[in-house]
Amino acid sequence: MPSRTPAASLDGLGAVPGPGGTAFRVAAPGAPAVFLHLESSATRRRLAAEAPGLFADVVPGVRAGDRYRLEIEGRGIFPDPASRYQPQGVHGPSEVIDPRFNWTDEGWRGPDPADLAIYELHVGTFTPQGAFSAARERLPALVELGVTIVELMPLADFPGERNWGYDSAALFAPARCYGRPEDLRAFVNEAHRLGLGVLLDVVYNHLGPDGAYLPAFLPAFFSCEKSPWGQAVNLDGAGSEWVRGFFLEHAATWVREYRLDGLRLDATHTLLDESARHLASEVAEHVREIAATQDRRAIVIAEDERNLDRVVRPASEGGWGLDGLWADDFHHHVRRAIAGDSHGYYRDFSGTTPDIAETIRRGWFFIGQHSEHLGGARGTDPAGIPPRRFVFCIQNHDQVGNRAWGSRLNADVDVPTYLAATVLLLSAPETPLLFMGQEWAATAPFLYFTDHEPELGRKVTEGRRREFRAFPEFADEESRARIPDPQAISTFEASRLNWDEASGEPHAGVRRLHQAVLALRRPGAPLARADDATARALDEDTLEVLRGAMGTPGATTAVVRLRGSGSVRVGWRGSPLPATLVTTEDPAYQRDARPIGIVNDATALTVTFARPGAVILGW
């Protein structure tokens, strides 16, 4: 097995200006020599061989703002793979960036992992301007909403002017189309001032198809194995210590230089790593150590479709020790229940209320059962894992953007049903995630968009349309041709949120409901207690999420009807009578409110719905 890191540490990769000049440090194992090309003086300077595979020097007179490239003897001239900024795009020269910033968040320690409500956003479509500075101006609205941490979709620079971010090329450089590095620092600083944490989505499972020069510096970057994106990243073979070391320094840099509150690791199920310790576990430990030097904590969450308990079990139990995991079974069951999706992976999910309740009780549904979609067993038993470690959603960038038309859930169900699903999500004990605009049922789709060079762009468009051939509505070529072209600028522009609609009805009512339920999740509020939560089906259309014992002080029950009308018996009778904490049929949330009937008699507490809806009762 490879060692954890190369013989010499990869700390300090890139260009760091200081009083005596700028310190350059480059990892290029096997290179006979590395040269620095400075644009300002048109000079070529050989970097000293600091250790095998590492080249470094402090160059006098080089300041922040100067541009440069790196030459590997025998391989070519490239941008710096640890560049902090690419002002002319990923193929252009790198710019020396001063990491210093006038931080005013000295008292910030980071969000409590037990009190997370995540808001995922894409900087380019979150505002009309698509910039860090414009996103910063919207942060007060997120505080008012009641979320506690913002999760930014990948920011590493990419080819072209628009992208989801998963085509990462310059891994250390914030995408220039969103602003400069200092603009990102200002965003994080303001978030902290307002009491919001900031997570960054990072991608270690592949590189983008254009402009990623890292393999020129690390010849062992790819393995012989395959991944969904072609060659897999080499994490456990010969030379992999350099790849792992590069990723560890990458993770540390974002947390150290931007004071991020942690990372979301993309698709860890595609990281082929048989090392004694998985890369994700090393990354989590490393960024926590970096944050601790600034008297802060860091959170690391994974996306992993396998339902593996070891991802979030502590290292002392043989786990990776991560703080959380995207658990999509809840989304799939709910979507099947209220929107009827049944193709692809949805065929594994019944959408029945007993199965949804079981998912809430466990954290995920599949714990080793056969998956028809995968053709084999899926999942492990998560018994004993705290609910907060599971991240639930009813929408995220994948579940919206990977639909042919980028349609949001609120485009496929009516408002009463949407509000019912919202209460179910936010009353569950797991960590909720909202996707930007979800809080007001935004009408803008979130489509898949790219801006690649023409030939690559044509292949992306064709590949995107091929993905939907198995769906009946896209069985013929003519129907597939109507799927929005990822390369068209209109596809990107259609995906931008329209904030003006958030203040009009019915959108404002939907937002008020989100605020009301999120307020109940705050520390000390009724839905903050998660250790004694449970869920059960009351009938084929209704389920209950209960905290505490009914009738005892602080206990709550959320009764949620996902389909149709009818009455259900909750099981409590006698006194004290519960108070209604939230009802989706409040006129503040729906103008055509149809009150939910609540009758407490000698036999039971009966709740009657005229249509899909939810009520949260508390004692």
Catalytic residues: 266, 303
**Cα–Cα distance measured from residue 241 to residue 220, given in angstroms and rounded to the nearest whole number:** 9
Q: Where does residue 216 rank: exposed (0-12), middle (13-18), buried (19+ CB within 10 A)?
A: middle
For 586, half-sphere exposure in the C-beta direction (CA atoms, 13 angstrom radius) is 20
Q: Return phi, psi of residue 346, to 5°.
A: -65, -20
Of the candidates 44, 73, 6, 42, the one whose C-alpha atom is nearest the C-alpha of residue 216 is 73
In the numeric block, the tokens 């793979």 are attached to 81
- C-alpha 104: how far from chain center: 26
CB 117 within 8 A of CB 148: yes
Q: Which residues pair with 120 in a beta bridge?
A: 151, 435
Q: What angle do CA 80, 82, 85 make, to 5 degrees?
A: 80
Q: Please name the residues in contact with 357: beta carbons below 8 A apart, sequence gap of 6 or more.
A: 535, 536, 537, 543, 544
DSSP annotation of 288 reads H
- Pairing between β-strand 556-561 and β-strand 613-618 as defined by DSSP bridges: antiparallel
Q: How many CB atoms lie within 10 A of CB 350?
A: 15
Residue 328's alpha-carbon distances to 3, 324, 377, 531, in angstroms, are 34, 13, 16, 21
> Peptide bond before 506: cis, by omega within 30 degrees of 0?
yes
> Peptide bond before 576: cis, by omega within 30 degrees of 0?
yes
Q: Please name the residues in contact with 378: beta carbons below 8 A apart, sequence gap of 6 or more.
A: 306, 307, 348, 366, 368, 369, 370, 371
CB 48 within 8 A of CB 58: no
Residue 291's alpha-carbon distances to 57, 260, 470, in angstroms, are 27, 9, 46
Joined tokens for residue 531: 């250790």
**Cα–Cα distance measured from residue 530 to residue 80, given in angstroms and rounded to the nearest whole number:** 47
- Pairing between β-strand 533-537 and β-strand 542-547 as defined by DSSP bridges: antiparallel
Joined tokens for residue 287: 């960024």
Q: How many CB atoms lie within 10 A of CB 386?
A: 17
Of the candidates 123, 187, 182, 120, the one whose C-alpha atom is nearest the C-alpha of residue 148 is 120
- Pairing between β-strand 579-583 and β-strand 566-569 as defined by DSSP bridges: unpaired
**Cα–Cα distance measured from residue 472 to residue 469, given in angstroms and rounded to the nearest whole number:** 8
- C-alpha 283: how far from chain center: 16
